[in-house]
């Protein structure tokens, strides 16, 4: 229970760190609604229930903006059919939901749809239950429409600004990748020249020295030819190591999976890894929760994601209890991916934190603005990874 609570706190802290403004606006809206509630108490149980549900949905909007917006529409529709008298003003939450929905969807059509839907519901309530006996009051109706439309356009404009900035960052990332590719091609050219002009010469020296060593028998030159043969062989090995290093492909092992359908790619890739785990006698399966990404992932971040997952599966194979089980959840939400993974440790394991492999990836993840946390308590391994994808 304590471990689950700790993981929950870590995820909450990560979410707040990534979306500080979204969380701050949510707190502001909830406080305003509570102040309204204190000023006008609900007159019946129904109004009280509507007020509580409204506050709960507003509090959940930062995490589930689309679902929360739909839930608020349902509440407003209920208000059209049967009015709630007293309690918090729902206008603050409605405006926040419209703006956040327009921001997350990022299209003008979504902004218009959200503003139009809530406008119809709000105006329906004014027409049906206006304090004026003759229905809609022109001034209040126009003001209400203006506020709702302003909220939708504010969310849409903010999204356009963010997308523009992300476009600049993505172009910079593509430029870096292009430079890395050109550097790789240059390294290949250097490796080819080293092989053709130096390695072949060293090979000739090694062969000739070996022949002279065989001819010399036990003469005084034997030690000299032995030294030449050993040194030339060692130089060839070291040169080949340099050539291999220059010929190493940049971190592009998963370039074949850089496409739009990240969910499907993850499902197929994890399915193969899970099958490999099953062949080792380990039981478990990765579960993918797809709440939708609001921006196209950067290619380097996707490679980092798959690299980290590969390391996680290696650790499961090495440290999980034999014939044991493991659990893994991969969550896609907004512009990030979260990984939570647990398994029982083998009895012989004295592991208390992550090893060298995860330590290296921890540096890469932090450089990308993410976070990695791992603990081992009561023979149970718990891992949490957060990776921004754009």
Domain borders along the chain are 2-168, 183-246, 256-388
For residue 303, what are the CA distances in angstroms to 168, 298, 354, 382? 20, 9, 21, 23
Name the nearest CA neighbour of 345 among 376, 313, 310.
Answer: 376
What does the pLDDT read at residue 136? 42
User: Angle 307-312-317 (CA atoms, 0-180°, nearest 5)?
Assistant: 125
What does the pLDDT read at residue 214? 74
What does the pLDDT read at residue 81? 79
> CA torsion sign, 361 to 362 to 367 to 370?
positive
Contacts of 347 (CB under 8 A, 6+ apart): 321, 379
d(CA 20, CA 14): 10
pTM passes above 0.75: no
Residues of the chain with pLDDT under 50: 132-138, 251-259
d(CA 253, CA 207): 38
Helix or strand holding residue 332 (H, E): strand 325-334
> CA torsion sign, 340 to 346 to 352 to 354?
negative
| Partner residues linked to 371 by β-bridges | 386
User: Residue 207: left (phi > 0), alpha (psi -120 to 50), or beta?
Assistant: alpha
d(CA 281, CA 207): 50
Give long-range contacts, CB 8 A cutoff, 24+ apart: 220-226: none
End-to-end CA gap in the chain: 33
What does the pLDDT read at residue 328? 92
What does the pLDDT read at residue 258? 37
d(CA 303, CA 306): 5
Q: What is the b/e burial string over 115-126, where b = at least 16 CB atoms within 10 angstroms of the residue's CB?
A: bebbbebbbbbb
Name the nearest CA neighbour of 7 among 375, 390, 387.
Answer: 375
Contacts of 238 (CB under 8 A, 6+ apart): none
For residue 287, what are the CA distances in angstroms to 78, 171, 266, 301? 36, 32, 10, 20
> How many CA atoms are closer than 13 Å to the CA of 84, on its beta-carbon side?
25
Structure tokens that stand for 66 in this block: 């689309």
Is the distance from CB of 226 to CB of 206 less than 8 angstroms?
no
d(CA 299, CA 277): 27
CATH hierarchy code of domain 256-388: 3.30.565.10
């Amino acid at each position: 229970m304590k471990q689950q609570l700790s993981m929950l706190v870590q995820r909450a802290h990560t979410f707040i760190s990534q979306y500080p403004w979204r969380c701050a606006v949510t707190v502001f809206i909830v406080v305003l609604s509570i102040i309204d509630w204190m000023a006008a108490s609900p007159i019946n149980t129904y109004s009280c229930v509507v007020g509580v549900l409204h506050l709960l949905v507003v509090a959940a909007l930062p995490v589930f903006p689309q679902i929360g917006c739909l839930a608020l529409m349902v509440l407003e529709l209920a208000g059209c059919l049967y009015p709630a008298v007293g309690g918090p003003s729902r206008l603050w939450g409605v405006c926040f939901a419209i703006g956040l929905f327009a921001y997350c969807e990022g299209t003008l059509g979504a902004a218009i749809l959200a503003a139009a839907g809530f406008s119809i519901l709000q105006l329906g309530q004014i027409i049906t239950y206006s304090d004026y006996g003759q229905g809609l009051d022109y001034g209040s109706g126009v003001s209400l429409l203006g506020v709702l439309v302003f909220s939708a356009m504010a969310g849409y404009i903010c999204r356009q600004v963010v997308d523009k900035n992300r476009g600049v960052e993505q172009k910079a990332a593509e430029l870096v990748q292009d430079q890395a590719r050109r550097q790789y091609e240059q390294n290949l050219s250097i490796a080819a020249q080293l092989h053709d002009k130096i390695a072949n010469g060293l090979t000739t020296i090694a062969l000739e020295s070996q022949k002279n060593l065989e001819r010399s028998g036990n003469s005084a030159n034997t030690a000299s030819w032995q030294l030449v043969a050993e040194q030339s062989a060692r130089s060839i090995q070291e040169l080949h190591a340099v050539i291999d290093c220059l010929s190493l492909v940049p971190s592009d092992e998963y370039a074949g999976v850089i496409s739009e359908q990240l969910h499907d790619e993850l499902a197929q890739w994890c399915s193969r890894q899970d099958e490999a785990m099953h062949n080792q006698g380990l039981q478990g399966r990765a579960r993918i929760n797809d709440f939708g990404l609001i921006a196209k992932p950067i290619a380097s971040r996707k490679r980092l994601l798959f690299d980290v997952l590969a390391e996680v599966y290696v650790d499961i194979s090495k440290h999980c209890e034999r014939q044991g089980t493991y659990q893994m959840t991969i969550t896609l939400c907004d512009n990030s991916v979260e990984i939570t993974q647990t398994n029982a440790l083998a009895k012989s394991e004295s592991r208390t934190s992550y090893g060298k492999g995860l330590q290296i990836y921890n540096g890469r993840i932090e450089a990308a603005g993410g976070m990695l946390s791992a603990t081992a308590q009561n023979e149970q391994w718990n891992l949490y990874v957060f990776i921004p994808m754009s």
